[in-house]
């Protein structure tokens, strides 16, 4: 299968699994990614981890497939985006924390997939490259959106228009990634973070994610009202009772958690 889906310890795990082709997105892989993200949206999990097999996280679109259908390229791209863009929207809209683990090159459509996560961890050998300008195409899969969100519109334009390779340490400095790890420590670090988030106060974490997403398009009075509503709802949960008790008893909390759909 070009994309794998599994659940363990309340963590849903999506794995890009086309390593012989640098995890490049052809139609079959795009359909499989859509299915995995739909499974994640239905699952009762506390966090989702996105990682990849092989030396690349994702090389973006499958250029070999583009070359084979160069005379019908708009039709092929339309087919791909009918699968990929709904998957991207669902992944970005997941109410639970999402962690991505990036090794090696991340390019093209892989950028949006990588950077839509709430926590982006990378190996010290990771590098990012737009790729689009090099083949005369424009961005897709939210790559321009998330580059602009994380690094600012000016830096995003420069990265995409020059088509230069951005090394891991510069990605960290620009805020494109959140943590750097040695290659052999990357996946364990990402798994540990995802498990820790999944064991956290589920409703409170989902509320924080919703509120931060809403902040970009709300005025302060409306946002304060939303914060009040979310806080009052959280105050009624077993997680809040346990968190307060643990704080007073000077021990680590054991949050009961809540269903993904609550």
CA-wise closest residue to 121 among 98, 153, 147: 98
The answer to whether the beta carbons of residues 23 and 60 sit under 8 Å apart is no
- pLDDT average, residue stretch 49-61: 98
pLDDT by residue (tens digit) across 9-48? 999 999 999 999 999 999 999 999 999 999 999 999 999 9
List strands edge to edge, sheet with 165-167.
105-107, 127-129, 165-167
Tokens of 60: 């973006």
CATH architecture assigned to 3-198: Alpha-Beta Complex (3.90)
User: Angle, to 10 degrees, between the axis of helix 202-215 and the axis of helix 238-248?
Assistant: 100
Domain boundaries, the chain: 3-198, 202-248
| The pLDDT of residue 258 | 45
Round to whole Å and give the CA distance between 194 and 61.
Answer: 27
The answer to whether the beta carbons of residues 147 and 156 sit under 8 Å apart is yes
pLDDT by residue (tens digit) across 188-201? 999 999 999 999 99
pTM comes to: 0.95
pLDDT by residue (tens digit) across 99-119? 999 999 999 999 999 999 999
Q: How many CB atoms lie within 10 A of CB 224?
A: 11
Round to whole Å and give the CA distance between 108 and 140.
Answer: 8
- pLDDT average, residue stretch 117-128: 98
Round to whole Å and give the CA distance between 49 and 64.
Answer: 28
The dihedrals phi and psi of 18, each to the nearest 5 degrees, come to -130, 55
Range of lowest pLDDT (166-170, 186-190, 254-258):
254-258
Share of the chain above pLDDT 70, in %: 98
């Amino acid at each position: 299968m070009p994309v794998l889906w599994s659940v363990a310890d309340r963590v849903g795990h999506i794995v890009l699994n086309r390593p012989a082709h640098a995890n490049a997105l052809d139609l079959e892989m795009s359909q499989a990614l859509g299915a995995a993200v739909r499974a994640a949206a239905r699952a009762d999990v506390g966090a989702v981890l996105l990682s990849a097999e092989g030396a690349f996280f994702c090389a973006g679109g499958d250029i070999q497939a583009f070359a084979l259908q160069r005379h019908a390229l708009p039709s092929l791209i339309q087919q791909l985006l009918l699968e990929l863009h709904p998957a991207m929207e669902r992944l970005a809209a997941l109410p639970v924390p999402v962690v991505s683990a990036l090794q090696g090159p991340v390019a093209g459509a892989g950028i949006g997939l990588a950077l839509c996560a709430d926590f982006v961890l990378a190996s010290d050998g990771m590098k990012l490259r737009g790729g689009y300008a090099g083949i005369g195409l424009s961005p897709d899969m939210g790559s321009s959106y998330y580059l602009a969100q994380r690094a600012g519109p000016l830096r995003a334009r420069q990265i995409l228009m020059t088509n230069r390779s951005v090394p891991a340490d510069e990605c960290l400095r620009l805020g494109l990634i959140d943590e750097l790890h040695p290659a052999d420590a990357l996946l364990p670090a990402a798994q540990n973070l995802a498990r820790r988030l999944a064991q956290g106060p589920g409703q409170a974490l989902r509320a924080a994610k919703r509120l931060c997403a809403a902040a970009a398009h709300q005025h302060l009075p409306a946002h304060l009202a939303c914060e009040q509503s979310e806080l009052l709802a959280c105050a009624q949960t077993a997680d809040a009772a346990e968190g307060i008790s643990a704080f007073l008893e000077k021990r680590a909390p054991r949050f009961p958690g809540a269903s993904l759909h609550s």
